[in-house]
Amino acid sequence: MTTTAAPGSSTSATPSPSQGGATAASAHTSGQSRTSDQSHPPKYPTLLSPIQVGKRQLRNRVIMGSMHTGLEDDPADAPKLAAFFKRRAQGGVAAIVTGGFPPTMEGNLTPFGHPFTDEETVAAHRQVTDATHEGGALAILQLLHSGRYGYHPMAVSASDTQSPISPFPAREMTVEEIEATIAAYAQSAVNAREAGYDGVQVMGSEGYLINQFLAERVNQRTDDWGGSVDNRQRFPVEVVKAIRAAVPEDFIVDYRISVLDLVEGGQTQEEILQLAEKLEAAGADMLSSGIGWHEAKIPTIVTSVPRAAFSWATAALRERVSIPVVVSNRINTPEVAESLLDGSWAPAGGFAHNDANTERLPGTPQGDLVSMARPLLADPDFVRRAEADEANLLNICIACNQACLDHTFDNQRASCLVNPRACYETELELLPATDVKRVGVIGGGVAGLFAAEALAQRGHAVEVFEAADKVGGQFRLAMMIPGKEEFVSSLVGVQARLDKLGVKIHTDSPRNAQELLESGFDEVVVASGVTPRIPDFPGVREGLAGKIDGVEVMTYAELVSGVKRAGRSVAVVGAGGIGFDVAEYLQDYRDGKPQELKSWNEQWGVTTDPAARAGLTTAHPHCGQREVFMVQRKITPMGKNLNRTTGWVHRATVVMGGAELIVGAGYEGVDSEGLHITVPATDPKAINKAMKDAKHIRNKEERKEALAQIERDMAENRVQRTLGVDTVVLCTGQESVRPDEISPDAAEALRPRVHVVGGADVAAELDAKRAIRQAVEVAAQI
């Protein structure tokens, strides 16, 4: 079967935007989009309408929210940061907020940063602001003091304390240091204006220094800067007052307020609303919402969080102030953004039991502007596509965090799984091809589809050949996993863009490189993906063939694709990323439908009750639909190597669902009784502690012998166990698929005309990030 796309042109054109638009009557009044006319009214009239913020007018209601890219610390990276921001400005956003810059040396997130009082840093930012303005957007510098989140020995906070996410304790600031820090905020704002910025955003949320002053969780002071609510709120109010007094009226002062702390000892909603009123009186022009501390045990931005899950908290804020309020978190389509601003937003199933905010919906806007960060990493043309009514072409953010936040917390440069050019605009360029070629792509998984898109954007004639009856590969499986339903939108978007680019997609069409080269293709990209690896222990092959009475063995692909169905008691063999996905699938099968917000709030213990401190209530985890055992060979804690910012969510979810986690297992075989394993006789926690202690032995030979002895003890002291399950699901890795067994050596011999990418090159589970990046890099070179 063949799907032929209509001829089209690249969607990545970036014309310089206009600054036109009428002045809004007030902060909470919608205007008309500059793109509207009588015959073609805009589909998103509120989102695309201008708005007045302080003395400045924004061309629409979309702000690119702050994110740390890894390009902030070294002034030498300013040209790369400038290119990154310019591309988003050209895509139509009204304003761009930078990653956080500290007002003092102690406020650095890492020991390598430069405060915004450093002359070299300030001078370097002129090229950042010039580039942003050239693209048509306003530039806003975020001022962020890390407080006890500082990953260095200079960390300070409201009180002597240590955060659970930093190994460095923070000491209590003296009164003199507090006053000096307030002055440093003001001076940094002055410096920002000199560097060409149109405003600053004061980071007062996410658990950073200002948030630490506001919450009893950290602030244990007994002087004028702690104790009572008024005293705890003095620091942020004085910061805003100092900045307002130091800069002109037309310089925007934005404050990012924590509308929901989501930690024990956090603020109540009434405290937050009182602070908002004080900040407005102190001179803030706009309030941007922040959700949750970094140490919170509630997920706030991962894929499994329902869209706009916390907008109700921003709506409450909007009712108490007259300045514009910015709603944020898990907003990734123009439809969601528009509904939040025009009052039509209503999550399926409501918010929660005895919801105190239900009366706000529908009919009440949740905010006056929207802030999006990761969605603009994924697609810098988000606003342009909304203006052109081409939201179907969006390269949608799937909230995976794999290339953005995971990189940030590992001190790497951020990028995007579905857009590897993000933050690499000056290095990974898709220039027009000087020699237009006919290119065949074997495989319609994400590596193949994104390679085809990049090739077509450069002007090549591209065709995709997929052996299955549908494209999507591993993404088609992933979209069935609870919390990963967004993945289907990514597939829909890339197929729509390929259609516009004129790329032909052939399904049910297995091919190999030699066939395509002989049929007239100039180059071939092999992106044929992976297949599940089958472990070699007794009973597996028989079980896969259905020859064991009462027990069925299946691969993860057979389960999730629906080829086979699991029973009521299941052993998941292998506990990597795929193993956790499968466990969640078994516990909470939803047929690809996202979880309703009410259900999600109940599961995680989030309440909209304004009387509840920090938005927390008793969690009511859902009982899993099946009995699930997760089994792994390694003795280390299960899920240890999952992604840094999302792994804890997966671990918590499977535990809440009632799964039993078994580590250090030896697989003895599968028969009609179930899965037979051996496990260490000693408690795995004790074994891991012994291994940790052994690794600290200084003498190399003694350390090696101590670890070897632990391994011998584990091998000798084991007990038999039989898991009486009716289903065994194999999540034991993957192997590359190459048409007609094309080996790496053969592919090498055919170069430069054949290029193997993605899982076909290197099989590694849940590695779409590497696969897509490699595919785009190869496409850039053909």
> CB neighbours of 228 closer than 8 A, spacing ≥ 6?
none
| C-alpha–C-alpha distance, residues 237 and 210, integer Å | 10
| C-alpha–C-alpha distance, residues 265 and 765, integer Å | 39
Structure tokens at 140: 């806003």
| C-alpha–C-alpha distance, residues 152 and 106, integer Å | 9
Residue pair 427/82 in contact (Cβ under 8 Å)? The answer is: no
> CB neighbours of 678 closer than 8 A, spacing ≥ 6?
665, 666, 668, 718, 719, 720, 721
Residue pair 99/69 in contact (Cβ under 8 Å)? The answer is: yes
Which residue has 């011999």 as its token pair? Answer: 749
Count of Cβ atoms closer than 10 Å to residue 432 Cβ: 9
Count of Cβ atoms closer than 10 Å to residue 25 Cβ: 10
Half-sphere CA count of 506, side-chain side, radius 13 A: 12
| C-alpha–C-alpha distance, residues 739 and 510, integer Å | 8
Alpha helices (runs of H) in 104-249, residue ranges in sequence order? 119-134, 175-194, 209-214, 229-232, 234-246
Count of Cβ atoms closer than 10 Å to residue 567 Cβ: 13
Helix (H, G, I), strand (E, B) or coil at 453: helix
Active site residues: 208
β-pairing, 286-291 with 325-327?
A: parallel
Count of Cβ atoms closer than 10 Å to residue 470 Cβ: 12
β-pairing, 252-260 with 171-172?
A: unpaired
Structure tokens at 434: 């000087």
Residue pair 554/609 in contact (Cβ under 8 Å)? The answer is: no
Alpha-carbon torsion (685, 687, 691, 693), positive or negative: positive
β-pairing, 504-506 with 2-3?
A: antiparallel
Element (DSSP H or E) covering residue 370: strand 369-372
Structure tokens at 151: 């990953």
